[in-house]
């Protein structure tokens, strides 16, 4: 099976607007065409083409034995996938919505994440779990969770989430090619985001475990992933317009983590050491969320470079709210800029060796 990522298109004229959903569909199709061991299955992925139409046309092209509808039984779906992977197949399963995956969590924690270690490497686990996640689409309860912290805290799983069309294709191909289980989190509200992209020659992207600097800056670093990447880029532009990008302005760098596990400490630490300030942004609840782990790692690696405590902008510590209230729950430009304003621009370290009081710290 070929695992190489195709090279960039030779001519920009071949690149046309494509959505993230289309890029994901092309990744699945190309993987199935390249390797007969790749099987796609899940609830409504066949004749319906999935709730978000990501698998549309795959059953017609490859047949119901390669793209298969399943009963509403997430534990059975993941248990079946584990058995298929143990016998050398490469299953790609779709959990229809983020919170629908919870009934299958025991299979992930007790078996899928542990199998390669349990067998001392004799049994790889080439299994990809696609999970549409996050808010921003007006979904009701069980349709808008940001559950990445659960998977990040499970040793043995890789956890990735794209924020661009190119990454949607490249990271999904890399996930399917991996011999380790990958939880592939797809930001629902970015399914319809567009970028110029050539499906015949998709551009090369960094692999799993690598972060990317989406916007260069010098004043502070916004560290984010998935659905919050466009929000942070918008916040960085708003900061430049409101405060300028000179010596006294806010010139914000934006890092897209792309891969939560493995975590790219080198790229993050290099940025924070240069800017001296950091804000972690994600939709997941703040308490015991990904931002806490990321902030701890930054503090351990960059303590003597920091001009202020690492702050977090996160979802509130509540069950996901009703659709009419989700705009208050999700991190937005104003909340991000409020956090940046609290990065102790006036004070820095005190003479006693601790952080100055400044404008305060902690989760926003």
Same domain, 53 and 170: yes
Number of helical (H) and strand (E) elements in the chain, helices listed first: 12, 14
Query: Of 142, 167, 197, at which residue does a domain stop?
Result: 197
In the numeric block, which tokens belong to residue 112?
């899928």
Residues 169 and 70 in one domain: yes
CATH code for the domain in which residue 333 is found = 3.40.50.920
Q: What span, in angstroms and rounded, lies between the C-alpha atoms of 127 and 129?
A: 7
Residue 194: pLDDT over 50:
yes
For the segment 275-282, the average pLDDT, to the nearest whole number, is 98
The CATH number given to whatever domain includes residue 22 is 3.40.50.970
The verdict on 225 and 182 lying in the same domain is no
CA distance 309 to 89: 47
Q: Read off the DSSP letter of residue 363.
A: B
Q: Give the separation between CA 355 and CA 208, rounded to whole angstroms.
A: 35
197, 223, 244 — which closes off a domain? 197
Say whether both 155 and 84 belong to one domain: yes
pLDDT value at 21 more than 60: yes
Instruction: Kindly give, in sequence order, each residue whose CB lies less than 8 Å from that of residue 263, ignoring residues fewer than 6 positions away.
Output: 209, 257, 294, 297
- Rounded to two decimals, the pTM is 0.90
Q: Please provide the size of the chain in residues.
A: 364
First to last CA, the chain: 46
H or E element: which one contains 198?
none
* Alpha-carbon span 98 to 226, nearest angstrom: 14
β 128-133/90-94 pair status: parallel
What is the pLDDT at residue 362? 41
Residues in CB range of 244: below 8 A, 6 or more apart: 250
Q: How confident is the model at residue 141 (pLDDT cuts 50, 70, 90)?
A: confident
Of 197, 227, 250, at which residue does a domain stop?
Answer: 197
Identify whether 352 is part of a domain. no
Which member of 26, 39, 143, 329 is catalytic? 143
In a domain, 77, yes or no: yes
Residues 48-76 have a mean pLDDT of 96
Number of domains in the chain: 2
Say yes or no: 175 and 241 in one domain. no
> What tokens does 50 get?
């999935």
Rounded Cα gap, residues 230 and 210, in angstroms: 18
Residue 345: predicted pLDDT: 87
Peptide bond between residue 262 and the one before it cis (omega within 30 degrees of 0)? yes
∠ Cα 24 29 32 (to 5°) = 125
Domain co-membership, 249 together with 174: no
Q: For residue 194, give the nearest of 20, 26, 23 by alpha carbon.
A: 20
The answer to whether residue 242 is domain-embedded is: yes
Domain that holds residue 294: 212-341
247 token code pair: 């010596």
Give the per-residue pLDDT at 275: 97
- In this structure, the answer to whether residues 86 and 166 fall within a common structural domain is yes
Q: Is the pLDDT of residue 178 over 80?
A: yes
Q: Is there a single domain that holds both residue 131 and residue 226?
A: no
CB atoms within 10 A of CB 279: 29
The pLDDT tens digits for 148-175 are 999 999 999 999 999 999 999 999 999 9
Mean pLDDT computed over 297-325: 96
Strand, coil or helix: what is 159?
strand
Angle subtended at Cα 261 by Cα 257 and Cα 267, rounded to the nearest 5 degrees:
40
362, part of any domain:
no
Over residues 84-120, the pLDDT tens digits come to 999 999 999 999 999 999 999 999 999 999 999 999 9
Helix (H) or strand (E) holding 19: strand 16-19
Find the DSSP H helices in the chain: 20-34, 58-62, 74-86, 105-107, 115-118, 148-152, 165-177, 229-243, 265-275, 290-302, 326-329, 333-341
Question: According to the model, what pLDDT value does residue 347 have?
Answer: 58
Looking at residue 12, its pLDDT comes to 53
Has residue 5 been placed in a domain?
no
Distances (CA, A) of 326 to 134, 141, 153, 206, 338: 11, 11, 26, 33, 19
Same domain, 189 and 302: no
Q: In the numeric block, which tokens belong to residue 326?
A: 């989700």
Residues 162, 288, single domain; the answer is no
Residues 85 and 225 grouped into a single domain: no
- pLDDT exceeds cutoff 60 at 82: yes
Instruction: Work out the pLDDT band at 210, boundaries 50, 70, 90.
Output: very high
Does the active-site annotation cover 243? no
Same domain flag for 222 and 277: yes
């Amino acid at each position: 099976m070929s695992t190489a990522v195709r090279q960039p298109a030779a001519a920009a004229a071949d690149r046309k607007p494509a959505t993230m959903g289309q890029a994901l569909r092309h990744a699945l199709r190309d993987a199935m065409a390249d390797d007969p061991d790749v099987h796609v299955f899940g609830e409504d992925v066949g004749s319906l083409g999935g709730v978000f139409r990501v698998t549309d046309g795959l059953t017609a092209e490859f047949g119901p034995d390669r793209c298969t509808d399943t009963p509403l039984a997430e534990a059975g779906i993941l248990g079946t996938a584990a058995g298929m992977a143990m016998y050398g197949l490469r299953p790609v399963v779709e959990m229809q919505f983020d919170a629908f995956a919870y009934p299958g969590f025991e299979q992930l924690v007790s078996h899928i994440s542990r199998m390669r270690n349990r067998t001392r490497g004799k049994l790889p686990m080439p299994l990809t779990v696609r999970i549409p996640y996050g808010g921003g689409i007006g979904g009701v309860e069980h349709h808008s969770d940001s559950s990445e912290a659960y998977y990040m805290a499970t040793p043995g799983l890789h956890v990735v989430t794209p924020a661009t069309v190119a990454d949607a294709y490249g990271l999904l191909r890399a996930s399917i090619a991996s011999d380790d289980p990958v939880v592939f989190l797809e930001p629902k509200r970015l399914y319809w985001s567009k970028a110029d992209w050539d499906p015949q020659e998709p551009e090369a992207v960094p692999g799993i475990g690598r972060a990317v600097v989406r916007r260069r800056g010098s004043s502070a670093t916004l560290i984010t992933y998935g659905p919050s990447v466009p929000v942070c880029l918008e916040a960085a532009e708003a900061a430049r317009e409101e405060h300028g990008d000179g010596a006294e302005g806010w010139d914000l760098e934006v890092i897209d983590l792309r891969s939560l596990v493995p975590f790219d400490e080198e790229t993050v630490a290099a940025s924070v050491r240069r800017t001296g300030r950091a804000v972690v942004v994600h939709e997941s609840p703040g308490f015991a969320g990904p931002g806490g782990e990321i902030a701890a790692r930054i503090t351990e690696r960059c303590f003597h470079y920091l001009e202020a405590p690492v702050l977090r902008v996160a979802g509130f510590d509540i069950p996901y709210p009703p659709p009419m209230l989700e705009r208050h729950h999700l991190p937005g430009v104003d909340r991000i800029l409020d956090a940046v304003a609290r990065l102790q621009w006036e004070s820095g370290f005190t003479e006693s060796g601790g952080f100055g009081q400044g404008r305060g710290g902690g989760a926003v």
